[in-house]
Amino acid sequence: MSDTQLADWRNHALTLESEVNKVVVGQESPVRLITTSIFARGHVLLEGDVGVGKTTLLRAFTRGIGGGYQRIEGTIDLMPNDLVYHTYLGEDGKPHVSAGPLLQSGENLSIFFFNEINRARPQVHSLLLRVMAERTLTAFNKEHHFPHMLVFADRNQVEKEETFDIPSAARDRFMMEIPIVVPSDAAIMESLVFDTRFHDVDALVANVPESILQFDQLNGFAAKLQNSITASPTLRSYVLNLWRATKTPMDFGVKVSGVDMNRLVLSGASPRGMGMVLRAARVNAWLNERTAVLPEDIHAVLHSTVAHRLVFSPVYEMRRTEIARDMLSGIINAIATP
Amino acid sequence: MRASFLLITLTSILGIQPAIADVILPDINAKYVTIIEENPTRDAGFVVGDVLDRTITLTVKKPYELVKESLPIEGYEHRYKGQISGIELVKISTEETKHSDSVTHVLHLRYQIFTTGKLAKPAALRAEIVKMRNTTNKDVRQYRIPSYSFRISPLSVFGSVKLKEEMSPFIAPLLLDSSREKLTIKVLIGVLAASLLGLLYMLGMHAWLPRMGAPFAKAYRDIRKMPDTAEGLQQAVARLHESLNKTAGNSVFSSNLADFLQKKPAFSPVKQEIEQFFGLSRQVFFEPNAVTNVSASPKTWLQKFCRHLRDCERGLLPELKSTTNTKAS
């Protein structure tokens, strides 16, 4: 791929970022990570409280990317077929079947947003995870393809009642888990409350120019981008050490306060997970106008791509967000490069 | 001896006037001669074979002069009451200094003891008689250099001796041969000193001077030895990364450089250079096409950079003027 193409796409990506940042203020880091995942073609799990702007953020991205946007709410009685179709009695008094959220946009489905995924049953997770992995769905005796689809799901970590924990195998399908927190900057907080432009979400999202990116060209560009950004032997060695450290942090002298490190990790990052780290790091390098991955690119995406893949002893699961953050920071601090 | 006896007998038979040396002359008036004695520092504890030095300074005023022939003769056997005293003059030397109205003679006399006994016994350096001649009327007088008394000790003590009565402040204590022990002590002191130096070296983090073993001081020494090749450059950059990490206590990257400088503000003066270093590291290890603003000779630049880091490490302010020769490569 020519440098010009890379630069053109980079400009588009940065424009998209810039426009989204105007709509969702104080979320520069999540916006950068979502942009990264879009170009790395990875699904994203958003974690955050209610009303922090997750939906607005995704709608803004969808508008900028173009293509179809579908959304479903996770509830305890949601069944897998609810994603595929729904039945109703028509005006003619006969039963009718219409396409569900997954099928509604057909192949043009660009972003599928699963709100509060942890409220849905494991059966629903199972279907969704297959769609995420294969980007296909068999329904009505036909195989449907969603080549451009990215799944964005969110979960509320505060409420635990009537929820189903997402198993580690399912979490591993998501490229990133991105925390969305309320901005701490006083001026931004005040603006979010008193600025009337934030009160009408539809009008707010409409401010993002449509189709800054061409959703149907993203797959092709993403593949070429991955081939354009190199990883030196030194970096490869560094990443392998990081990987090993997620499995046996004690071997690298990593400690977390108040945690028995010998018992903490049941399973480190998976090969798929580390592959996703590199995919995301390559995109980050490209966004920063580099032709090779640096350790800083790995650091930029390590927390969001690895933390949710770690499997801890049950006794530490309740504190996993905090422990995973400290452990990964410890790993970055402990492992040197070159 | 026989020849001299015959000569004396012959002169007495022939009625020849006796020589000056054999007659007892009247003493010279004391006002014409002054004497200064320098005797041995102790008067006891001498044994057979010991040598005693005595210096006599005679100042003879005019019109008298010293008759040099009257000075004592080396090897003359002194007798006391017909018995050989066993103390012999073995060497004599003189110095003469003339003044306007007097002449000063310094006599260096060396005696040796050739006698001993079972008990300590008194002895003396005999009183030497010298002659003075009046230069105007040829009158000859004698002057008696006082004797010096001391005691001769036996080589070993016989029988029971009352040490209390025999003690003298001038008698040196009997000493055991301690040369072997002294040698042992010297060797042990040497070992102790070497051990202390080794301990100092270890406590100083394998360095002889404070901070000599600090990370950048060590790195500076290592980098100077590295070859000026691509491989040497990689080693040098890696060595500096290692020192940075060791100093910070964690891995330092360009992304957490601000944290490092906040934790170690002594390195703030070289912030720009550290950023340049990360640029160079990026080129060397990760992105060969990357542009750096390090000078044309990275090895030289790294040495200077490392020296500046070492200065910061020692609490000094590095001279940064020398590294402003940055140039796009």
Min distance B287 CA to chain A CA atoms (Å): 6
* Overall average pLDDT of the A3-31 stretch: 92
pLDDT of residue B237: 93
Residues of chain A in contact with residue B285, where contact means CB-CB under 8 angstroms, are 232, 234-235, 337-338
CB contact under 8 A, A234 and B286: yes
**What is the identity of the amino acid at B228?**
D
Q: What pLDDT shows up at residue B82?
A: 79
Q: Which of A179-183, A290-294, B158-162, B309-313 has the lowest mean pLDDT?
A: B158-162
Is some CB atom of chain A closer than 8 A to the CB atom of B239? no
| CB contact (8 A) between residue A290 and residue B253 | no
pLDDT tens by residue, A92-102: 889 999 999 99
- Examine the pLDDT at B18 and tell me if it is beyond 50: no
pLDDT digits (tens, 9 = 90+) for B113-170: 998 877 788 898 988 999 999 998 888 999 999 999 999 988 776 666 666 666 666 6
Chain B residues with CB-CB distance to A230 below 8 A: 287
Task: List the structure tokens of B265.
Answer: 């503000």
Q: Give, as one character, the DSSP assignment of residue A209.
A: P
Neighbour-count burial for B84-100, b at 16+ CB within 10 Å, e otherwise: ebbbbbeeeeeeeeeee
Q: For a pLDDT cut of 90, what percent of chain A falls above it?
A: 49
The mean pLDDT of chain A is 90
Cβ within 8 Å, pair B286-A332: no
Percent of chain B with pLDDT over 70: 82
Q: Is the ipTM of this complex over 0.95?
A: no
pLDDT at B1 over 50: no
- Contact: A338, B285; criterion CB under 8 Å: yes
B251 neighbourhood in chain A, CB within 8 Å = 332-337
Tell me: the pLDDT tens digits for A315-337?
A: 998 888 899 999 999 999 999 88
Please give the Cα distance from A234 to B284 (Å, whole number).
Answer: 10
| Residue-wise burial string across A94-121, b where 16 or more C-beta atoms lie within 10 A, e elsewhere | eeeeebbbbbebeebbbbbbbbbbbbbe
- Nearest CB among B237, B285, B289 relative to A291 is that of B289
Which domains are present in chain A?
A: 3-216 (3.40.50.300), 229-334 (1.10.8.80)
pLDDT at B58 over 70: yes
Beta bridge partners of residue A47, listed in sequence order: A155, A179
Q: What is the pTM of this model?
A: 0.67
Every domain range in chain B assigned CATH 2.60.40: 23-154
Q: Is residue B39 less than 8 Å (CB to CB) from chain A?
A: no
A314 touches B: beta carbon within 8 Å: no
Residue B272 touches chain A, beta carbons under 8 Å: no
User: If you measure CA to CA, which chain B residue comes closest to A330?
Assistant: B250
- Is B250 close to A232, i.e. CB distance below 8 A? no
Q: What CA–CA distance (Å, rounded) separates B128 from A317?
A: 116
Higher pLDDT, A274 or B168: A274
Nearest residue on chain A to B235, alpha-carbon basis: A338
Q: What is the average pLDDT across B188-217?
A: 80
N-terminal to C-terminal alpha carbon distance within chain A: 29
Q: Binning pLDDT at 50, 70 and 90, where does residue A300 land? A: very high
What pLDDT score was predicted for residue A37?
96
Question: Contacts of residue A294 in chain B, CB cutoff 8 Å?
Answer: 282, 286-287
Of A186 and A51, the structure prediction assigns the larger pLDDT to: A186
Residue B94 parent element (H or E): strand B83-98
Per-residue pLDDT of A22-48, as tens digits, reads 999 999 999 999 999 999 999 999 988
Task: Give the integer Cα–Cα distance in Å for B217 and B204.
Answer: 12
Q: Which residue out of B231, B239, B242, B285 would a mutagenesis test of the A interface target, given it has the greatest number of A Cβ atoms within 10 Å?
A: B285
Angle CA A246–A172–A242, to nearest 5: 20
B-facing residues of A in 202-231 (CB < 8 A) are 230
Q: Does A248 touch chain B (CB under 8 A)?
A: no
pLDDT at residue A220, as a whole number? 93
For B281, the closest chain A residue by CA position comes to A338
Return all residues near A155 (Cβ < 8 A) that are at least 6 apart: A45, A46, A47, A116, A117, A118, A163, A166
According to DSSP H, which parts of B62-162 are helical?
none
Assess whether pLDDT exceeds 70 at residue B14.
Answer: no
What is the reported pLDDT for B208? Answer: 61
Domain B23-154 matching CATH 3.40.50: the answer reads no
